[in-house]
Structure 1
């Protein structure tokens, strides 16, 4: 009986053991399946993001002014580098990356001399061109098995890893189009460097330039890390930001840059600003300043130049306001060009305030008040308007708190007297000749375009259109409407008066044979803490037309010229004239000239080209000299380093000799395995 019980118990135990073993086997198989699935998902299947870039900014002629490029980081995992081929790897990487061999070796050790483990960055901030060379090296290193797998999966390893770090903004032409171009700053998201626009066009069109979408590719990877292209591979195309194509002509812009640089020095000015705009559609083909900067190398003394003063600098414009008031009175019918005013021989009292003229006259008609720039005369023309007519007329031209709307941003607003303050005759008088109010350069440029465009005001535009990766063009919907501050008839009368200013008034220095040129000078004192000081703004706003229908509005502002040149007729007008000459030379204007005049212009152009070539040759020579000096400095530094090493070895040898050590014995390193010659 006891034996039967024993047998039953033994059978039960065997049964339990078998069930337990079966369960353990099932659990083991499930675990192995899980590991295999994990290994397959984490190692063999990968997804790579293809980063999109910020859009480019391109000139009218197709020159790239601003663009984004990717930069890369090159790293390795020390665990997967074959120790027997480490020296071979270092020599090859040094050749491909141009990093000195000693510098590379030092990256593998801490300051205390301990070997680093894990991920190791060998090169940072590598551009796309260098990345291509290093990717070629990566293929060769994989072929020669410089890296090898570890552990159970011998076929998996991390080789030379070249990963995107972010994007950098490039300005190939450096200071070209600054300050209106603006600049960029980086910001980081998920460890990746992005670019955002600051100031100027870069900021104004931020939503288009940065309207981008990253792409990606997902699929199985092979043993060396490349994605296997097959039916299971998922690919999504990247979309870069929109590129901007400008109305600005880079060639004309650079030409005007040279003119402004020359006259800034010649006039002893703080800054000179100039713009050229097509009168018919307000496309700005040049807008520049003498105070430019390299967006990638902004110096401390250039901080004040970061904001484009064409839009951000509001100032008392002076006599360039006189044609505006003249046009308002003509429009209301309170005067005609022949209406005569008593100008009191250059001195007129308004209560306790005295108004004076630089050229005293007993009387002048309305047209000659503009031609001779009479403060006394324009004051009386301003008084012919009611307070409401005066203020609303200025508002129709876009003065006061309205902005010109030009697409470079950072735009300040102007200011003139309120209706209540305009009741005082002296306030209306001072506003009439451009004092007691402020305006921006862009507001004045837009206003003067009215006289050369049939009385119609159109918002100035720097950007012509945007385009995507497939070069499809998109013309932005205009966020402005055409405004007619005065009638076409009034605009024509003012235009003829401005032609007279150049023929026989303060703008005579702007005359050019075969072209129709009109405009108005403005010289205004600058107000300081204690009142008006002997510092000046000198400006000239006008237009130039040729017989073939080319029509342009041009503005020039000289900020604080020396006293010798403080009158606009001797500062801003000569700059205007030089800009017109440059436009003739470039074929933008075609004057009606005889053969002798054409030959004279051609001769001047040849002389200018010779001067430009001489300057370029000097620049090339200076560049070669700098490169030579840099090479010499590098060679000298290399020699110094070699000498230091020799000296260290000698010191070390002497110390060893003193200790009686064997200085001839050198640690032997096993040579790397024989490999085929790569070169």
Structure 2
């Protein structure tokens, strides 16, 4: 009996010793495992982002957002749990439950449930993944004695360009297309500002953390940590004022519909700096719903046309500068009919013998044809070039069509000198005309139109923007005296002539209308371009403003189309406090 009891005690003691030994072995294993894990080096990457586009009043009109892809291993979803999984995924992602069910029933293995998820969805789905695992809605499985579990995974998969204000500032800011670096998607500029500054805005280099990990797989921040901070692309800061831009876009859209026009273009520029406060068109786009690809073009510099009578002040100023017009001079406008060889020239408003300024105020083609009769072709050609016609304007976009002016050889012909003087036979773009008219409101000096103020990377500002134009900033095109004379004539044109509808008491406003047939295949259509270019000033501020209406069906004279739009833009400048009635 005693022997049996002793044997029992010894057995219990041995079991106890073995248990203690097992605990010791387990503790030693885990401890060693933790030490081994701490020796494992891991690297976490942080993708750099493309720079943003920001207006002068602080609105971010284009930025890059990281996007994520969600996958699930359908083998980790028991059949009875598929419906609840689909329901919960739908709640967190916003994707219909039926669509998720269809995907997880489509095949066994890893299935992509959603692409291009935003950060909010990513955070929600990461939380859901933990909840599904904890509640065993997703469970692992044993394969050849090895436990395998993938479950729901949500990973960063690329970057997407976001335009939070829809079609605002299109097509000027342009758009991007997607490309891939391995499995990671990025974007690059294709048109407009996005392309012109693509190299500046694209990511510089990714960031990373490299170091030992703890048992949870988290990098230990100790002396062994290696780190590189990501370097994003530069932000592009525009001169455009968002509040004014939106108002003018609404005005142009309203008049496009009212006039049944193909397009209406408008812009406001600071006369002394060339900074564009607004560059707008009625033809804007949202990339995902784009129907007409012509809306992708920045027609302010990509659409060329015969300017019509808006060219007259430019030619008249050259004649003044070269002393081809005398003080007190009169000119016979032949009561509206005049011949150069076999070419008949007419005026819409016939006049007889009038003071020479009336040629601009009442827009006489005959008067201009007579004034340029003896104008030296070389002076004529070089003068138009100095005004910025036939050369790139310098606006910071990816593409500009510079049009053409008559060659010196062509200008040796009186008829070519004459037709050029009233805006036929030459091709210009909208921005060239805005740039040229600005000279009258800037003491005879030319400035380059600017839509971009500066680039910024971190705290470093890059303001030395390279602009594609031979124009020398602030160079004198005409003397201040000639500029003042022209300014006076253009103010009279608004008060007495074709621009009467733009006059507003308390402001200094001047400008010139222009209407021209649309040329096509060597001839002219019964369709028109109508324009008004000029300025609006108070005692503290000076702005140059342009409007061009392409192919209006409801009226075609500029006095009926472009003039009321110009006035509406000036009123918008008053409403937004850029101008105050002070004269």
TM-score using structure 2 length: 0.87
Work out whether 1:410 is the aligned partner of 2:399.
yes
The residue that corresponds to 1:62 in the other structure is 58
Secondary structure of the structure 1 residue equivalent to 2:543? strand
| Residues 91 and 392 (structure 1), Cα distance of their counterparts in 2 relative to 1, 3 Å cut | closer
Q: Deviations over 1:492-550 (max 9, x none)?
A: 11111111111111111110010000011101111233622221111000001102x21
Secondary structure of the structure 1 residue equivalent to 2:531? strand
**Counterpart mapping for 1:151-550 below 5 A:** 158=150, 160-221=152-213, 225-299=217-291, 302-400=292-390, 402-468=391-457, 470-477=458-465, 479=467, 481-482=472-473, 483-529=475-521, 531-547=523-539, 549-550=540-541
Secondary structure of the structure 2 residue equivalent to 1:569? coil
Secondary structure of the structure 1 residue equivalent to 2:195? helix
Q: Which runs of 5+ in 2 are unaligned?
A: 1-31
Q: Which runs of 5+ in 1 are unaligned?
A: 1-35, 594-679
1:52–1:213: 8 Å Cα contact kept in structure 2?
yes
Work out whether 1:135 is the aligned partner of 2:126.
yes
The residue that corresponds to 1:565 in the other structure is 555
2:454–2:465: 8 Å Cα contact kept in structure 1?
no
Secondary structure of the structure 2 residue equivalent to 1:444? helix
| Residues 533 and 381 (structure 1), Cα distance of their counterparts in 2 relative to 1, 3 Å cut | same
The residue that corresponds to 1:590 in the other structure is 580
Q: Which has the higher helix share?
A: 1
The residue that corresponds to 2:93 in the other structure is 97
| Residues 87 and 591 (structure 1), Cα distance of their counterparts in 2 relative to 1, 3 Å cut | closer
2:73–2:108: 8 Å Cα contact kept in structure 1?
no
2:235–2:455: 8 Å Cα contact kept in structure 1?
yes
1:271–1:560: 8 Å Cα contact kept in structure 2?
yes
TM-score using structure 1 length: 0.75
Q: Which has the higher strand share?
A: 2
| Residues 477 and 370 (structure 1), Cα distance of their counterparts in 2 relative to 1, 3 Å cut | same
Greater CA drift, 242-251 or 376-385 = 376-385
2:377–2:411: 8 Å Cα contact kept in structure 1?
yes
Deviation of residue 220 (structure 1)? Answer: 3.9
2:166–2:286: 8 Å Cα contact kept in structure 1?
yes
Distance 1:47 1:161 in 2: 19
Q: Deviations over 1:150-183 (max 9, x none)?
A: 6899899645422111111111111111121211
1:158–1:224: 8 Å Cα contact kept in structure 2?
no
Q: Deviations over 1:206-254 (max 9, x none)?
A: 1112143211223344566544444333222112211122111111111
Distance 2:376 2:331 in 1: 18
Q: Deviations over 1:276-326 (max 9, x none)?
A: 000010100011111111133212xx2111101110011000111111111
1:80–1:150: 8 Å Cα contact kept in structure 2?
no
Identify the structure with bigger relative contact order (alpha carbons < 8 Å, sequence gap 6+). 2
